[in-house]
Structure 1
Amino acid sequence: MNLKKQMKKLVTVAATAAIAGAVLSPVSALAADKVRWRMPIAFPSTLPALGAPAQYAAEQLKLASGGAMEVRVYEPGKLVPAFDILAAVSDGKTEAGY
């Protein structure tokens, strides 16, 4: 399987997992008009294999949810330092991280 197909599959699985997480979360996604998540990324979005899939996943989530879910992608260091993304998600400071 080539890299492009692998990345597409990875993004599809991640998008599906994120949608399932939003639907199954204790706070009903249907109660709000729009679900908005902040997602800091560790790699610049200009890097094709490392940063671009995060933006692609955000776009696919918006399409799959009919616009009900919006993921805003933050470049490295804009929201939290790259090496603190896991801690930020674990502590609830951000909803997602890549």
Structure 2
Amino acid sequence: MPFYSFYGVFEPDERGYSVSFPDLKGCLTCGDDMGEALVRAKYTLEGYLSEYEDLDKGIPVPSSLETVKANMPEDANVILVEINTEDSRGIERLR
């Protein structure tokens, strides 16, 4: 079943919020406000993990909340982002 949950780290910056997924190198996005950042985080995570599936790479095991919190900036928020990669089937991705 292609349902995944990863913690996203939402950091305020001069333009809004930047979002990173500590367990997924290079899985980054941003938004003008927290709502937009969350929507973009879901879309970005979905696309990132869909590529892993397409390439038959193993999906990394998510870190615990405690581990993510221990390694994030003080002014950041952590949010559990949940997606279903089956929702992205049929979306053409750039290679």
TM-score (normalised: structure 1): 0.34
Ranked by relative contact order (alpha carbons within 8 Å, sequence separation 6 or more), the top structure is 2
Superposition TM-score, scaled by structure 2 size: 0.34
Which structure shows the higher strand fraction? 2
